[in-house]
Amino acid sequence: MLLSAGVAGCAYHNDLSYDAHFQRYKARLPEGDKVFVCSAYGCRTQTGFRFAEADIKQLKKLMSATHTASAADERRAVGVTLAWMERRVGDATGTTADRPADDLAGNGDPTQLDCVDVATNLTSYLLVLDRHNLLRNYSVGPVIVKEDLRRGVSGWPHYAAILKDKKSGQQFAVDGWLLARGDPPEIVEVEKWYVDDSDILIGKTSTTVTAANTP
């Protein structure tokens, strides 16, 4: 499906469901609390990781009603929770060593992620949250692709996970590609996503995630 972004030179592409994206990249959907972590660019490597009972307990704390009183609060909680999940998974799979954005040396390296890997993994983590009914205001949408041809090479197709507001239908891009693994991803309306990322410092390391891990 092709959607106009409302800005000349921009275009969105997304499927009707997240399954199609996983099939396209031969990525495995989560099986219960087990995810298959994509890496090496384009999901060339997939490493299984199961969130243990203690992990699920922590996710429930991070996504408790206290932290998700409003839709905006829930988005912030999702960002912190996804950061925790990436750290938990990354420490076990080696993807914590991922360098933000892409570089030629990362292609084929199982510790490195491109935007396809990041978007696929974030979608898997969101599905785990949804499985435990921890998404109250949102559902998990299909991975979205956006290109901005006005920007030349820097505007090539880029991928993001999607949260969809259950009431309004507004879609929010969930994107951590420019950031260090374990840093809360950007969560922004799709209309604003990948238009101007100048407010994001590539590779920044969050100083707030650890403190936020304990409600």
Q: Is the pLDDT of residue 103 over 90?
A: no
What whole-number distance in Å separates Cα of residue 63 and Cα of residue 5?
Answer: 31
What pLDDT score was predicted for residue 156? 72
Range of the domain at 114: 2-212
| Count of alpha carbons within 13 angstroms of residue 136, beta-carbon side | 15
What pLDDT score was predicted for residue 157? 82
Tokens (6 digits) for 135: 């998404």
Q: Which of 99-108, 127-136, 177-186 has the highest mean pLDDT?
A: 127-136
What pLDDT score was predicted for residue 11? 64
Q: Is the pLDDT of residue 178 over 50?
A: yes
What pLDDT score was predicted for residue 3? 34
pLDDT tens readout for residues 119-159: 999 999 999 999 999 999 999 999 999 876 665 555 578 89
What pLDDT score was predicted for residue 4? 34
Asked if 6 contacts 14 with a C-beta cutoff of 8 angstroms, the reply is: no
Q: Is the pLDDT of residue 12 over 80?
A: no
What pLDDT score was predicted for residue 7? 39
Q: Is the pLDDT of residue 210 over 60?
A: no
What pLDDT score was predicted for residue 154? 56
What pLDDT score was predicted for residue 15? 72
177 or 197, higher pLDDT: 177
What pLDDT score was predicted for residue 192? 87
DSSP states along the chain: -EEE-SSTTEEEEE-SSHHHHHHHTTPPPPBTTEEEEEETTTT-EEEEEE--HHHHHHHHHHTSGGG-SSHHHHHHHHHHHHHHHHHHHHHHHSGGGPPSS--GGGTT-TT---HHHHHHHHHHHHHHHHHTT--SSEEEEEEEEEEEGGGGGGGS-EEEEEEEETTT--EEEEE-TTS-TTSPPEEEETTTTTT--TTS-TT---SSHHHHT--
The chain-wide mean pLDDT, for the chain, equals 85
What pLDDT score was predicted for residue 194? 76
What pLDDT score was predicted for residue 148? 66
Into how many domains does the chain fold? 1
Q: Is the pLDDT of residue 16 over 80?
A: no
